[in-house]
Amino acid sequence: MLDLDAYLARIGLAGEPSVARVHRAHATSVPFENLDPQRGVAVSLAPADIERKLVDERRGGYCFEQNLLLKAALEALGAEVELLLARVRVGAAPGVIRPRSHLVLRVRADGQTWHADVGFGFGTLLEPLPFGPGAEHEQSGWRFRVVEDGAELVLQTDEGEGWMDLYGLLARPVPLIDVETVNWWTSTNPRSPFVTGLMVSSQTADGTRTSLSDWRELALTERTPSAAIVTPVARDELPELLAERFALVGFVLDVDGRLDRVGATEAASYMRR
């Protein structure tokens, strides 16, 4: 069972906060990162492994880890939570159908139903949205809405150049085994972008998004709703950037220039530098 007090302390809360408060605190405290798949380590979705990694070790994770942890916390607080799978649309070439490889939550609490998602690496929701199509929602300067497209509900964002699709989901819950199956593909398949590329990101309460990625070029990007600053970085800067900008400590480059994680003793020494 989840240590709820430890989880709430990890995200800076205590007591019995609302769904919206937990969502915002999680989204602004736990970074998105694919450092395990990127270094050849398959992602475990065992609850104890997720809690150890994201809570005890103060790591981040990608959508499956992030949203399963949020699910456990919200259920511990009395909510009902269902798993939904979505196809990421942003960046897809015309006619390309991607797998349903993004996890989203449908949350029922206090007579309301929410669309919750703290694990979208391109800029996740700060707060949950009312589930289903509806009005526009502004969150620290970022704008979101959900629209219908055939059988799918599509989350869109407007960054000043018109509405853009982020992902489309079917409003039908899936069993955990479906999530485990696509997680295995995402974290181990040689063609998965989470295996071949690096993606680390975080958000602050004021709406600032910071990302470190090599999906186009290796660069650190800082974005607000009105501006973006892109700074190319050298690969040997990665361990320092991970520690200083994302609080992800204990990473080094191996002899081939790939990220690796040092042991517990070495990590403690690294943290004291």
Q: pLDDT tens for residues 157-186? A: 998 889 999 999 999 999 999 999 999 999
Burial label for 229, CB within 10 Å (0-12, 13-18, 19+), is exposed
Task: Kindly tell me if the per-residue pLDDT of 113 is higher than 60.
Answer: yes
Catalytic residue (one of 102, 165, 206, 214) = 102
Reported as a single tens digit per residue, the pLDDT across 60-73 is 999 999 999 999 99
Which of the following is catalytic: 23, 26, 36, 63? 63
Mean pLDDT of the chain: 94
Active site residue 178: no
23 as an active site residue: the answer is: no
Instruction: Classify burial at 257, counting beta carbons within 10 Å of its beta carbon; exposed 0-12, middle 13-18, buried 19 or more.
Output: exposed
CATH class for the region spanning 4-191: alpha beta
Distance CA 157, CA 230 (A): 21
The catalytic position among 23, 36, 117, 165 is 117
Q: How confident is the model at residue 263 (pLDDT cuts 50, 70, 90)?
A: low
Q: Is 137 a catalytic residue?
A: no
